[in-house]
């Protein structure tokens, strides 16, 4: 049983470049979540999907951020024109949905450093 | 607007003693509460949860207590072990409404002293 997988684990980029992160959820999990965590803070909700539908987006998700889950399986989070304030750990989580459990299963995260 | 608050950034406890981590929330719609544990460079891992219909849930060395009137929950770890050293996050959701989205506190770093 594989858990939530994220890659790359660490990305260093220069300001203004675009970056993309990928998340593979636990198979058969319908819901997929993206969170962001900065130093000294707890994870902050960004967006979530029910299958391929993006159902909620946080106001933290500026128009430079876009997330997709095209076939209801893996998801990508793209950040365009990165800024130093985007430096953070980007966490993906999945759940079976449908009220089965209130627990989210997290991946190990993708750390972004913007120089 | 911090809806889930962990007011102690850090806590040090002697090995074998009880560790008590606290969490307060402001959103009265929250009805499901969880504790996650996080090691450096890893994602959060689920530890224990409690529904608002209960006031206590126990799993081995871990017990979570919920006081709905005070909007307060706590995690008790007894006896504390060196492997418990980690950052602990309290989280909450409106699960009964079908909303699993978790709102997290800022975390408490627990250090167990051998």
pLDDT in tens, A30-69: 999 999 999 889 999 999 999 999 999 998 888 999 999 9
B87: its two tokens: 């950052």
Mean pLDDT across chain B: 95
B56: its two tokens: 């206590």
A6: its two tokens: 């994220």
Res B96: pLDDT: 87
Please list the helix, strand and coil fractions of chain A in percent, rounded to the nearest 5, in that order: 5, 50, 50
Residues 6+ apart with CB under 8 A from A57: A46, A47
Instruction: Give DSSP secondary structure letters for A32-75.
Output: EEEEEE-TTS--EEEEEEETTEEEEE-TTS-TTEEEE-TTSS-E
Rounded to the nearest 10 degrees, how much is the dihedral formed by the CA atoms of A29, A34, A38, A41?
Answer: -60
- Please judge whether B41 and A108 are an interchain contact, meaning their C-beta atoms are less than 8 angstroms apart: yes
Res A98: pLDDT: 73
- Please judge whether B106 and A91 are an interchain contact, meaning their C-beta atoms are less than 8 angstroms apart: no
Average pLDDT of span B18-45: 95
Query: Closest chain B residue to A46 measured between Cα atoms?
Result: B101
For residue range B68-99, what is the model confidence (pLDDT) as tens digits?
A: 999 999 999 999 999 999 999 999 999 988 88
Kindly report the nearest CA distance between residue B35 and chain A, in angstroms.
10
For residue range A62-92, what is the model confidence (pLDDT) as tens digits?
A: 899 999 999 889 999 999 999 999 999 999 9
CA distance B36 to A28: 23
- Please judge whether B42 and A91 are an interchain contact, meaning their C-beta atoms are less than 8 angstroms apart: no
Res B72: pLDDT: 98
Residues of A in contact with B104 (CB under 8 A): 42-44
Res B13: pLDDT: 98
- Could you tell me the pLDDT band of residue A102, with boundaries at 50, 70 and 90? confident
Res A28: pLDDT: 87
Residues of B in contact with A111 (CB under 8 A): 41
Share of chain B above pLDDT 90, in %: 90
Residues of A in contact with B21 (CB under 8 A): none
Between B32, B100, B106, which is nearest A31 by CB? B100
Kindly report the nearest CA distance between residue B103 and chain A, in angstroms.
7
pLDDT at A1 over 60: no
The residue with tokens 């969880």 is: B34
Share of chain A above pLDDT 90, in %: 84
Res B99: pLDDT: 86
CA distance A113 to B25: 32
**Partners of A16 in beta bridges:** none
Check if the beta carbon of residue B111 is closer than 8 Å to that of residue B101: no
Check residue A85 and report its DSSP letter. G
**Residue A5: C-alpha distances to residues A9, A88, B112 (Å):** 10, 18, 30
């Amino acid at each position: 049983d594989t858990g939530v997988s994220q890659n790359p684990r660490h990305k260093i980029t220069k300001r203004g470049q675009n970056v993309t992160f990928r998340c593979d959820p636990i198979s058969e999990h319908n819901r997929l979540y993206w969170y962001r965590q900065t130093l000294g803070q707890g994870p902050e909700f960004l967006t979530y999907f029910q299958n391929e539908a993006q159902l909620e987006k946080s106001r933290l998700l500026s128009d430079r951020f876009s997330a997709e889950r095209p076939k209801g399986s893996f998801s990508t989070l793209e950040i365009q024109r990165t800024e130093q304030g985007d430096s953070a750990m980007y966490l993906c989580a999945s759940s079976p949905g449908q009220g089965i459990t209130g627990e989210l299963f997290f991946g190990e995260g993708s750390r972004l450093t913007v120089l | 607007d911090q809806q889930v608050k962990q007011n102690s950034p850090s806590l040090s406890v002697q090995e074998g003693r009880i560790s008590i981590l606290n969490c307060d929330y402001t959103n009265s719609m929250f009805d499901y509460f969880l504790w996650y544990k996080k090691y450096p460079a890893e994602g959060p891992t689920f530890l224990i949860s409690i529904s608002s219909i209960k006031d206590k849930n126990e799993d081995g060395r871990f017990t979570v207590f919920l006081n709905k009137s005070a909007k307060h929950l706590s995690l008790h770890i007894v006896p504390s072990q060196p492997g418990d050293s980690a950052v602990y996050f309290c989280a909450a959701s409106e699960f009964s409404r079908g909303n699993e989205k978790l709102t997290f506190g800022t975390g408490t770093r627990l250090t167990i002293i051998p």
